């Protein structure tokens, strides 16, 4: 009995699979293999297999843990701020307000600016001698602050720049979520005498949960990988006060050219992002079940 | 018959002419891609003379400029992929060891009298300034580049402010600190520091050398105490005191450009900064201190020589060597300096009366060449520099004690060399 196999779908998919393999799968396998070797771009010679030595070296380096702490502080603070402000703006714009189209366009503008330019803009704004922020402080008779020169102010300064740029993203997603909620539930809540806060707490938030979880996961993954702004604003300084994992990987890979070490760092970063995502989704699911 | 003979003679004459022209322009029609570090005044001057080179040789030049902060990784990645992207590279000596595996030795060209006229080029004109001009690009008796510009940090000072305070230019680091404290008043700080993560160690090392410190000549000779000893501690203590008492707090984010800008704006009285920016302070369009700045050499600085090198995968090596020779020749170095370049590395240019009349700091520059120094030219130097800078910035901003910082930094530097296999 002859079995007819329809090859057409496979042939049509083969192009996409080939591109996926070349651009994603192969580089992943290559860098995983590299992470178990020592290889420097500036020293001739083949790869040298060192097993888990790169990973051990990373784990025993106190600078690495400082950088993980910095990355966590940056990520959680920035995403938290962006969510809070974004939700507030979304709630405001979910009602009919005059000029909302124009206002919405203005609110969304920062997201259109390339991250490296955002870093440059805020770098000039933070300048102690001629930055606009210190100028405004001067009008209030406050001494100018060297924002990027002190560890305590450098990280908040970087978080603020990131929040300025990416709050519109949260705002757009949450506004779309709010606008998609059924009006009948709000009307029946109002008829039942629920206050605005009760409606928000017991109606809007639970219904928005899927959108919120997507927005936070996407922003978390982006914020964890932040590079451009910090590269431009502080270069990771003062000391390592604002150095995050992406900048550390860049420094090891493209300044010191320790490619094996940088590959190992990259994999550890991926593992952390995956771990957080799995924990976050698990927590959401448990909360949802309750 | 006579007509045919005439035609043959004419054809032979044209063939001969063509041969002659080809001999004069043996690389005509070739294209050279030159990678230059953006912003160097010498390169700005050089670019104005490129059309002349193109006319004389028939070689087409394409300049690819990249910022100082990004050029190393961009070039090394291109070189490691063997793409043949460049014919000539602008190599900062600090990165020479990282470029070395990809560079082509030019000994064969230098030894060929048809390609290199040693008398006309005059290597002595370079080495009489300092032997470092050529030794910086030499490994195991093979030369890999020709020097085309060199800066050395000088002490730049406001003549008017020192005079007003009754002070002479400082002659050592302790006077530098004392003067800085005295001159910090009103809206002016005593000094500007290059205390950013990429500039701090360079500046600290100059204090270290000033106090009599020295680096080991070979990485194999490094000890855990190489950066952790009384001299290093004295230098770091001094750096901290200057930062706390006489420098703008935003110095922590400053590099060469911002430090120079601070002098231009008149907010600092002194600075230890590269000679590359010498012409900035007399430019009335950007400087508020025209005619008020002087320079001296109280202690040794790093000899920041930059060279032109040929990559191994360069498609047109002989033409590239022709360009290198031209760009580093006496005449062109003189003319690029006259066109605004401020970092020549030939004695003849540094002593040229017409040039030194305009570039008054060349006298200090000539003197500094005699005792300037170079760090270890190893691929790991960037990592070591960064390991030191991280701890030193903690001293300035996070209250870490200088002794503890040096202990950690020196230990990390030793670990970097150990992992690189220098002690096996």
DSSP string, B208-236: HHHTT----SSGGG--TTTTSSHHHHHHH
Instruction: Give the Å distances, CA to CA, from A96 to A90, A93, A103, A179, B210.
Output: 12, 7, 12, 11, 70
Q: What's the confidence (pLDDT) of residue B17?
A: 60
Are residues B52 and B169 both part of a single domain? no
Across the interface, of A40, A237, A254, the residue whose CB is closest to B197 is: A237
Cβ distance A42 to B98 less than 8 Å, yes or no, reads yes
Cβ distance A150 to B397 less than 8 Å, yes or no, reads yes
Cβ distance A149 to B397 less than 8 Å, yes or no, reads yes
B134 lies in some domain: yes
Helix axes A259-289, A205-224, angle to 10 degrees: 170
Can you tell me the distance from the alpha carbon of B366 to that of B278, in angstroms, rounded to the nearest whole number?
14
Whether residue B230 has pLDDT greater than 60: yes
Cβ distance B265 to A129 less than 8 Å, yes or no, reads yes
Residue from A162, A76, A168 nearest A118 by CA:
A162
Residue with tokens 């032979």: B12
Sign of CA dihedral B207, B248, B275, B88: positive
Can you tell me the distance from the alpha carbon of B422 to that of B414, in angstroms, rounded to the nearest whole number?
10
Q: Band the pLDDT of B20: cuts 50, 70, 90.
A: low
**pTM of the entire structure?**
0.87
pLDDT digit string (tens) for B363-403?
Answer: 999 999 888 888 888 999 999 999 999 999 999 998 999 99
B6 lies in some domain: no
Nearest CA in chain A to B408: A62
Can you tell me the distance from the alpha carbon of B72 to that of B424, in angstroms, rounded to the nearest whole number?
29
Cβ distance B101 to A44 less than 8 Å, yes or no, reads yes
CA distance A238 to chain B (A): 6
The residues of B whose Cβ lies within 8 A of any Cβ of A are 72-73, 76-77, 80, 97-101, 196-198, 248-253, 265, 267, 379-380, 382-383, 386, 390-391, 393-394, 396-398, 419
What does residue A49 show for φ and ψ, rounded to 5 degrees?
-70, 130
Are residues B185 and B294 both part of a single domain? yes
pLDDT digit string (tens) for B260-287?
Answer: 999 999 999 999 999 988 888 999 999 9
Across the interface, of A43, A128, A254, the residue whose CB is closest to B73 is: A254
Number of domains in chain B: 2
Can you tell me the distance from the alpha carbon of B102 to that of A54, in angstroms, rounded to the nearest whole number?
26
Question: Three-class SS of residue B157?
Answer: strand
Q: What's the confidence (pLDDT) of residue B216?
A: 83
Are residues B84 and B126 both part of a single domain? yes
Are residues B166 and B62 both part of a single domain? no
Can you tell me the distance from the alpha carbon of B238 to that of B392, in angstroms, rounded to the nearest whole number?
12
Structure tokens at A100: 């909302």
Maximum distance among all Cα pairs of chain B, rounded to whole angstroms: 100
Are residues B114 and B179 both part of a single domain? no
CA distance A210 to chain B (A): 42
B7 lies in some domain: no
Sign of CA dihedral A130, A133, A136, A138: negative
Can you tell me the distance from the alpha carbon of B152 to that of B300, in angstroms, rounded to the nearest whole number?
9
CA distance A223 to chain B (A): 23
B242 lies in some domain: yes
* Contact (Cβ atoms closer than 8 angstroms) between residue B299 and residue B213: no
Can you tell me the distance from the alpha carbon of B290 to that of B263, in angstroms, rounded to the nearest whole number?
10
Q: What's the confidence (pLDDT) of residue B22?
A: 55
Can you tell me the distance from the alpha carbon of A142 to that of A160, in angstroms, rounded to the nearest whole number?
20
Are residues B177 and B53 both part of a single domain? no
Chain A partners within 8 Å of B398 (Cβ): 151, 238-239, 241
* Full residue range of the structural domain in which residue B104 is found: 24-151+303-371
Are residues B116 and B249 both part of a single domain? no
B4 lies in some domain: no
* Contact (Cβ atoms closer than 8 angstroms) between residue A209 and residue A280: no
B146 lies in some domain: yes
Q: What is the mean pLDDT of residues B65-70?
A: 90
CA distance B263 to chain A (A): 13
Are residues B273 and B173 both part of a single domain? yes
Give the HSE-up count for residue B311: Cα atoms under 13 Å, Cβ half-sphere. Answer: 27
Mutate to test the interface with A, among B397, B411, B421, B422 (most CBs of A within 10 A): B397
Mutate to test the interface with B, among A116, A239, A247, A252 (most CBs of B within 10 A): A239
Cβ distance A57 to B419 less than 8 Å, yes or no, reads yes
Chain A partners within 8 Å of B396 (Cβ): 238
Can you tell me the distance from the alpha carbon of A31 to that of B101, in angstroms, rounded to the nearest whole number?
23
Q: Which H or E run includes B73? A: helix B68-80
Nearest CA in chain A to B78: A41
- Cα dihedral: B355, B358, B364, B368 (round 10): -40
Nearest CA in chain A to B393: A239
Instruction: Give the Å distances, CA to CA, from B226 to A144, B127, B220, B376.
Output: 39, 30, 12, 13
Cβ distance B397 to A239 less than 8 Å, yes or no, reads yes
Are residues B72 and B167 both part of a single domain? no
Are residues B157 and B285 both part of a single domain? yes
- The answer for residues whose C-beta is within 8 angstroms of residue A244's C-beta and 6 or more apart is A67, A70, A71, A74, A224, A226, A227, A230, A236
User: Which ranges in B171-272 belong to alpha helices (H)?
Assistant: 173-183, 200-210, 230-246, 256-264
Can you tell me the distance from the alpha carbon of B216 to that of B227, in angstroms, rounded to the nearest whole number?
10
B243 lies in some domain: yes
Q: Which of B350, B371, B392 is the last residue of a domain?
A: B371
B317 lies in some domain: yes
Q: List the pLDDT tens digit at each of the 290 positions of chain A.
A: 666 678 888 888 889 999 988 999 999 999 999 999 999 999 878 999 999 999 999 999 989 999 999 999 999 999 999 999 999 999 998 887 788 888 888 989 999 999 989 999 999 999 998 899 999 999 999 999 999 999 999 999 999 999 999 999 999 999 999 999 888 888 888 888 888 888 888 888 888 988 999 999 999 999 999 999 999 999 998 889 999 999 999 999 999 999 999 999 999 999 999 998 888 888 878 876 66
Q: What is the mean pLDDT of residues B196-215?
A: 93
Instruction: Give the Å distances, CA to CA, from A16 to A9, A28, A29.
Output: 11, 17, 18
The domain spanning residue B212 has which CATH number?
3.40.190.10
Are residues B273 and B164 both part of a single domain? yes
Across the interface, of A43, A150, A240, the residue whose CB is closest to B390 is: A240
Domains and their CATH numbers in chain A: 36-289 (1.10.3720.10)
Are residues B241 and B187 both part of a single domain? yes
Q: Which H or E run includes B91? A: strand B88-92
Q: What's the confidence (pLDDT) of residue B23?
A: 60
* Contact (Cβ atoms closer than 8 angstroms) between residue B321 and residue B26: no
Nearest CA in chain B to A43: B101
Helices (H) and strands (E) in chain A, counts: 14, 2
């Amino acid at each position: 009995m002859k079995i007819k196999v329809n090859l057409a779908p496979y042939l049509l998919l083969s192009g996409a699979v080939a591109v996926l393999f070349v651009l994603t799968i192969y580089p992943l396998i290559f860098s995983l293999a590299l992470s178990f070797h020592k290889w420097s771009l500036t020293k001739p010679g083949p790869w040298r297999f060192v097993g888990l030595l790169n990973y051990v070296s990373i784990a025993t380096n106190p600078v690495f843990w400082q950088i993980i702490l910095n990355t966590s502080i940056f990520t959680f603070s920035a995403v938290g701020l962006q969510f809070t402000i974004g939700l507030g703006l979304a709630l405001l714009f979910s009602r009919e307000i005059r000029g909302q189209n124009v206002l919405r366009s203005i609110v969304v503008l920062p997201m259109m600016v390339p991250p490296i330019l955002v870093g440059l803009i805020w770098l000039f704004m933070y300048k102690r001698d001629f930055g606009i922020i210190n100028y405004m402080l001067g009008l209030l008779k406050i001494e100018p602050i060297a924002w990027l020169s002190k560890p305590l102010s450098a990280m908040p300064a970087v978080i603020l720049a990131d929040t300025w740029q990416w709050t519109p993203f949260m705002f757009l997603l949450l506004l779309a979520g709010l606008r998609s909620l059924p009006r009948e539930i709000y009307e029946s809540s109002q008829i039942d005498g629920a206050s605005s806060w009760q409606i928000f707490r017991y109606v809007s938030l639970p219904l928005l949960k899927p959108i919120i979880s997507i927005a936070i996961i996407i922003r978390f993954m982006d914020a964890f990988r932040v590079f451009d702004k910090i590269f431009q604003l502080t270069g990771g300084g003062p000391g390592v006060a604002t150095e995050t994992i992406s900048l550390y990987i860049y420094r090891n890979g493209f300044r010191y050219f320790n490619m094996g070490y940088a590959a190992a760092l990259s994999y550890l970063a991926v593992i952390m992002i995956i771990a957080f995502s799995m924990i976050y989704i698990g927590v959401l699911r448990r909360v949802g079940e309750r | 018959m006579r007509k045919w003979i005439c035609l043959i003679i004419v054809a032979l004459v044209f063939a001969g002419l063509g041969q002659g022209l080809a001999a004069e322009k043996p690389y005509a029609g070739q294209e050279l891609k030159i990678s230059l570090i953006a912003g160097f005044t010498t390169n700005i001057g050089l670019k104005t003379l490129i059309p002349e080179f193109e006319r004389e040789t028939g070689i087409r030049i394409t300049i690819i400029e990249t910022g100082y902060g990004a050029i190393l990784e961009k070039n090394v990645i291109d070189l490691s992929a063997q793409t043949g992207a460049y014919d000539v590279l602008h190599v900062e000596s600090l990165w020479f060891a990282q470029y070395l595996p990809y560079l082509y030795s030019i000994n064969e060209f230098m030894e060929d009298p048809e390609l290199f006229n040693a008398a006309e080029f005059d290597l002595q004109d370079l080495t009489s300034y300092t032997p470092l001009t050529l030794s910086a690009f030499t490994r195991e008796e093979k030369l890999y580049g020709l020097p085309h510009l060199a800066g050395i940090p000088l002490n730049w000072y406001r003549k008017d402010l020192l005079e007003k305070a009754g002070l002479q230019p400082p002659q050592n680091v302790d006077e530098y600190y004392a003067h800085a404290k005295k001159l910090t008043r009103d809206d002016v700080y005593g000094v500007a520091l290059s205390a950013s993560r990429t500039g701090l160690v360079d500046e600290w090392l100059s204090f270290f050398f000033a106090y009599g410190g020295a680096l080991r000549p070979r990485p194999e000779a490094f000890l855990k105490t190489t950066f952790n000893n009384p001299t290093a501690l004295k230098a770091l203590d001094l750096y901290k005191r200057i930062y706390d008492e006489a420098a703008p707090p935003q110095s922590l984010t400053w590099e060469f450009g911002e430090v120079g800008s601070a002098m231009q704006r008149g907010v600092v009285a002194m600075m230890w900064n590269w000679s590359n920016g010498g012409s900035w302070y007399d430019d009335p369009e950007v400087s508020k201190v025209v005619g008020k700045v002087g320079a001296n050499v109280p202690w040794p600085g790093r000899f920041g020589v930059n060279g032109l090198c040929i990559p191994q995968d360069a498609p047109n090596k002989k033409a590239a060597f022709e360009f290198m020779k031209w760009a580093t020749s006496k005449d062109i170095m003189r003319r690029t300096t006259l066109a605004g370049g401020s970092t020549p590395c030939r004695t003849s240019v540094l002593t040229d009366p017409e040039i030194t009349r305009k570039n008054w700091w060349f006298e200090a520059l000539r003197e500094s060449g005699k005792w300037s120094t170079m760090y270890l030219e190893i691929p790991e130097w960037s990592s070591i520099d960064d390991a030191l800078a991280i701890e030193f910035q903690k001293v300035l901003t996070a209250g870490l004690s200088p002794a503890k910082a040096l202990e950690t930094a020196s230990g990390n530097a030793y670990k970097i060399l150990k992992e690189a296999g220098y002690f096996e």
